[in-house]
Amino acid sequence: MTPLEPNRDQIKIFVEGMLRHCGKDGVVSLRAFYESDDNSKPFRITNIKLAGGLPFLIEAVEDDARRAANNPKPVVFCPPVATFAPTGKAREQDLLEAPALSVELDQHPRAALEELERVLGFATLVVRSGGEWTNPTTGEVEDKLHAHWRLKEPARGNEIDKLKRARQLATALVGGDPSNVPACHPIRWPGSWHRKAKPRLCEIVNTEHLDNELDLDIALETLEAVAPQSGRGGTQQDPQGGQGTLDLDDAFGKIITGKEFHPVLVPLSASFAARGTPKVVTRGVLRALLNNTQTTDPERLKRRDVELNKLKNTVHSAYEKFAATPTSGALIDPWQEFAVPQFPIDVLPGITHDFVAAKSTDIGVDHTALAMSALATFSGAIHHRFRINLKRNGSWWVHPNLWVMLIGRSSTKKTPGLDDAVRPLEQCQAEIMREHGALMRDYQAKKKAKDKDAEEPPQPVRYVVNDTTYEKLADILSVSDRGILVKRDEIVGWIGGLDRYQAAGKPASVDRAFWLESWKGGPYTVDRVVRGTTFVPNLSTSIIGGIQPAKLAEIVGLTADGLLQRFLPAFIRAPKRMGDINCIEVTKLYKALVRELITLPPQRLRLSDGALDAMAELQDHIFQLEQVGEALAEGFEGFLGKLAGYAGSLTLILHLINNPTEAMKNFIGRTTVENVRRLVTDFLLPHALEVYCLGEGDSGRLKKIASYLLGCGLHRTRLTDLTSNVRDLRGKDVIQVNQRVSPFVAGGWLMPIEQGPACRAWNVNRAAIDAQFAERMRIEHDRKQALAQLFGERVRV
C-alpha cells in the first residue's frame, strides 16, 4: 500500500486557527482510535503540553496522524479541540479550556451549515471530514462537514457549561451529531485521513473567514432565541430548556384522571404557545380538561378548583415566555434585496480559489463577482476549439465559451472585481499589440523608403474587445479561430445598442442575429457591397459585463429570441470594508495560469465513466426542471435549455484550470462534474430564477398567488403568510399586498376580515376553491413536490 501522508499545511492552519488564544498551562490530548461503530478502542494517545508552543504541537500532530493513516487496521485520528488539566485524561471534568463552538453536520450538511451561518455568522473553519451523506430523497451525495467557530476567549470554568449549552442548541437547530456536544468529544482533524472505506483526506473547505470569532454570551443568547421549540408527532420539547419531552396524551390523561394538575398545566400552556395556538383556545381546552376531571377525591378536586381560578394567569405567563412568532416563515431581511446564495468558492481549484478569496477581501467585493469574472476570463483564454463530449455513445460536443452577467448596484464594486479578473488577459493582449505596433512602424518606414521587400505584418490575434460593432468584430475574428472575450463594464449599453444601431438602413435584428450566432460558434460569412466578404472561421464569443437590477427589469424583448437566456446571471451582494492583505503572490500565480491557458493547443477531451454517470445525473436534473420551468417564470424554461450545455462548458473550464498541462493528458473525472453540479444547482439556478421573476407580468403574479392559495389548505390566511410564502409579495407593505390580492377578493377567492386597503387577514373560500379547482390543486401539488426535490427549500411559488 502506498504510504498515506498527512497534509501538514492543513494541520498548521487548523491548530493555529483553533488554539491561537489558548494558554500555555494546558495539555492537548492527541487521540486516535481503531475505526469501529463506537471508536472505543484506543490506538494511540499522546498528551502534548502547550508550553512547548504551537510549532511543537504541529509536529506531534503530523507524526500521530501519519501513524494512524498507515496502520494496517483503519484508525481514526480525532483529538478533542480543547486543552485539559495535566491529569492524563480527557474527560469533561478534566477540561481546562474549550476554544471553539463546533458542530458535526452529518445530515443535510450544506443546508445545515447555511442555517448555522445565518444565525452565527461565517464559521472560522469548515472541514470536510472525509465521510459522505446520501440524501434519501434525491440520492445526491454530499460531503459531511465539521463547522468550527473560534471563541474570542476560550471558555474556562463555568463558561464551559455555557459553551456546552450553545453547542447543544446549535446541534439541535440543524440536526447535527449530538455526541459532539461536549467539548471533550473526539473529532477528526483536517490533514488526517478518513479510512472507513476508500481513504479520503479530511480537509479544510476554505480559509476565507479565518479571523471570524464568536462572543460566547452573544452566541448563546442568539441560539436561545432561535432554538427549536416543537418536536414532531405528539411530543413537545420542554420549553424550559430541559432534555425531556412532553407527551400530550400522557399530559391530558393526568388532568382527566386527576393525577396531576399544575405540573402539567404549565408545560402544556407553553407547548400550545410555542405551536402558535391562540391564547383563548388554549384557555378553553385546558378549562375543559379541568372541568371534566373524573376523580372523586375531595383533596384533588380542591386542587383542581385552585388551578381553574388561576388558569388565566398560568396561560398568560406561558405565552409571555414561549409564544411563537406571528410569521409562518423566516423574518424578511429588508437589507437583502435578492434572496440568492453566494458562489460556492470551494468548487474552484487551488490557484483560482486563493486568488478569488484574497482579491475579494482586498477589494471588499462579494467573492461572487471575482469568481464569475475569473470563469469568464478563463473562457476567453482557453481556445474555443477545445471541446468535450457529454455522452458515452452519442455525440454532444461542448465548447468553453461563457456569457456572464454580473447584476448589482453601482456601489457593489463589480467593476473593480471584473477588472482584476480580466487584467492578465488584457496584459497578454497589450504585449502582442505593442509588438505589432513595432512591426507596423518598421513596415511604414520600409514602405516610405520604397523597400520592395516590405511586407505588411498580419493582424495580431486578439483576446479581449470592449466597445465594437459586429462588422469590426468579424474582421478581428477573421484572422484567428480561437474565439474572443467581450468585456463590457455596463452591458445594458451593448444590449440597447443592438436595437439602436442602424447603418445604411440596416435593421437592428441583423446585429442580434450575429451575436446569437456567436454564442454557439462555427464558421460565419459577412457579405457587404462596400466592405466585400469577410470569412470568420469560428464565430465564437465569451461575454462578461455588469448591469444594475433596475436596468435589467426595464429591458424589453430579451426573452423572445433567447438573448437573455444565453447569460449566466449572478447577483452581487453589497460590498464590505476593504482589507489590507498582500495579494502579490496569488495574483502572480493567477496571471501565470491565464497565460498557460492561452498557450494550450485545442483538443477534444472526454469524461471518465464516473464523470459520464455524474453528468447524466445532472442533465436529468436539468431536464426534470425543464418540465416545470415554464410554471416558475417566463423565459426560465429557455434558460434551462442553455444551462444543459453550460454544464459541459463549466466542466471543461474547471478541469483545465486545475494544473492545465496535466489536465490535457487526463480524462475529466467525476469530482469535477460533481463540483459543476453544485455550481449549477446551488448557485446558478437560484440566481437565474430571481432574474426571470423580475420581469414577470401581472398574469404570472396572479398565478403565483393562486398557486399558494390552492396548496396552503388554510381557511384563513394572514398578511405574514402571503409575504413569507409568495415570492412576488416579499418585501411588499400592507397596501401593496392588498393591491396584489384585490383580484382574488373581487373574484370570490378571499373575503377580507377588515375593511379598507390595509387588511391583514382574509377568510379563504376553501369549499368553493377546493370544489372548482380540484384538478388544478393536484397539478400544483405535484409540481411543488417536484420543485422541492429539485430545488430543495430555496424556491417559493
Q: What is the pLDDT of residues 554-589, one digit of tens each?
A: 664 455 567 888 999 999 988 888 888 889 999 999
Three-point CA angle 518, 378, 492, nearest 5°: 50
Separation between Cα atoms, residue 100 and residue 155, nearest integer Å: 8
pLDDT of residue 385: 94
Nine-digit cell string for 621: 436534473
Report the SS3 class of residue 709: helix
Please answer whether residues 645 and 398 qualify as being in contact, where contact means their C-beta atoms are separated by less than 8 angstroms: yes
For 636-691, the DSSP string reads: HHHHHHHHHHHHHHHHHHHHHTSSHHHHTTSPBPHHHHHHHHHIIIIIIHHHHHHH
pLDDT of residue 284: 85
pLDDT of residue 632: 60
Does pLDDT of 490 surpass 80?
Answer: yes
Q: How confident is the model at residue 330 (pLDDT cuts 50, 70, 90)?
A: very low
Mean pLDDT of the chain: 83
Does pLDDT of 467 surpass 60?
Answer: yes
- CATH entry 2.60.40 includes domain 698-791: no
Q: Count CB neighbours of 560 within 10 A.
A: 11
Q: How confident is the model at residue 334 (pLDDT cuts 50, 70, 90)?
A: very low
* 103: phi then psi, degrees, rounded to nearest 5: -135, 130
Domain boundaries of the chain, sorted by first residue: 8-225, 235-322, 698-791
Per the model's pLDDT, the better-predicted residue between 633 and 330 turns out to be: 633
pLDDT of residue 343: 93
Q: How confident is the model at residue 797 (pLDDT cuts 50, 70, 90)?
A: very low
Which of 88-97, 213-222, 271-280, 444-453 shows the lowest mean pLDDT across its residues?
Answer: 271-280
Question: pLDDT per residue over 204-241, tens digit each?
Answer: 998 888 988 998 988 887 787 666 543 333 333 443 33
Q: What's the alpha-carbon Rg for the chain, to the nearest Å?
A: 31
Question: pLDDT per residue over 25-38, tens digit each?
Answer: 999 999 998 875 44
Please answer whether residues 68 and 188 qualify as being in contact, where contact means their C-beta atoms are separated by less than 8 angstroms: no
Q: Count CB neighbours of 12 within 10 A.
A: 17
In percent, how much of the chain has pLDDT > 70? Answer: 86
pLDDT of residue 626: 78
Domain 8-225 class in CATH: alpha beta
Per the model's pLDDT, the better-predicted residue between 137 and 651 turns out to be: 651
Largest CA distance in the chain: 128
Does pLDDT of 756 surpass 90?
Answer: no
Separation between Cα atoms, residue 204 and residue 7, nearest integer Å: 11
- The burial class, CB within 10 Å (0-12 / 13-18 / 19+), for 542 is buried
Separation between Cα atoms, residue 377 and residue 402, nearest integer Å: 9
Average pLDDT over every residue of 767-792: 70
pLDDT of residue 550: 76
pLDDT of residue 332: 40
Please answer whether residues 133 and 175 qualify as being in contact, where contact means their C-beta atoms are separated by less than 8 angstroms: no
- The burial class, CB within 10 Å (0-12 / 13-18 / 19+), for 81 is buried
pLDDT of residue 511: 78
Pairing status of strand 484-490 against strand 464-465: parallel
Three-point CA angle 473, 381, 685, nearest 5°: 95
pLDDT of residue 781: 67
Question: pLDDT per residue over 383-435, tens digit each?
Answer: 999 999 999 888 899 999 999 999 988 888 888 999 999 999 999 999 999 99
Separation between Cα atoms, residue 651 and residue 489, nearest integer Å: 26
Give me the amino acid identity at 493: G
**Which residues, other chains included, contact 779 with Cβ-Cβ below 8 Å and sequence gap of 6+?**
none
Any idea of the CA torsion for 446, 450, 454, 458, to the nearest 10 degrees? 80
Does pLDDT of 705 surpass 60?
Answer: yes
Question: pLDDT per residue over 163-180, tens digit each?
Answer: 999 998 898 888 888 888
pLDDT of residue 337: 60
pLDDT of residue 619: 92
Does pLDDT of 127 surpass 50?
Answer: yes
Secondary structure in 3-state letters for 447-475: HHCCCCCCCCCCCCCCCEECCCCHHHHHH
User: Alpha helices of 258-412 — where are they, by DSSP H?
Assistant: 262-275, 279-291, 298-309, 311-322, 350-363, 367-381
pLDDT of residue 499: 56
pLDDT of residue 242: 37
In percent, how much of the chain has pLDDT > 90? Answer: 39
Does pLDDT of 197 surpass 80?
Answer: no
pLDDT of residue 579: 82
Does pLDDT of 543 surpass 80?
Answer: yes
Average pLDDT over every residue of 672-700: 80
pLDDT of residue 38: 43
Q: Count CB neighbours of 154 within 10 A.
A: 25
Three-point CA angle 647, 649, 651, nearest 5°: 70
pLDDT of residue 435: 93
Does pLDDT of 79 surpass 70?
Answer: yes
pLDDT of residue 347: 93
Three-point CA angle 575, 577, 581, nearest 5°: 115
Average pLDDT over every residue of 649-671: 91
pLDDT of residue 709: 84
Indicate the helix (H) or strand (E) that contains 720. helix 719-725
Q: How confident is the model at residue 382 (pLDDT cuts 50, 70, 90)?
A: very high
Q: How confident is the model at residue 12 (pLDDT cuts 50, 70, 90)?
A: very high
Question: pLDDT per residue over 91-114, tens digit each?
Answer: 889 999 999 999 999 888 998 898
Top mean pLDDT of 62-71, 268-277, 294-303, 743-752 is at 62-71
pLDDT of residue 70: 92
Per the model's pLDDT, the better-predicted residue between 47 and 2 turns out to be: 47
Which of 129-143, 306-320, 323-337, 564-578 shows the lowest mean pLDDT across its residues?
Answer: 323-337
What does the chain come to in residues? 797
Question: pLDDT per residue over 235-267, tens digit each?
Answer: 334 433 333 345 677 788 888 888 888 878 877
Does pLDDT of 9 surpass 70?
Answer: yes
- The burial class, CB within 10 Å (0-12 / 13-18 / 19+), for 245 is middle
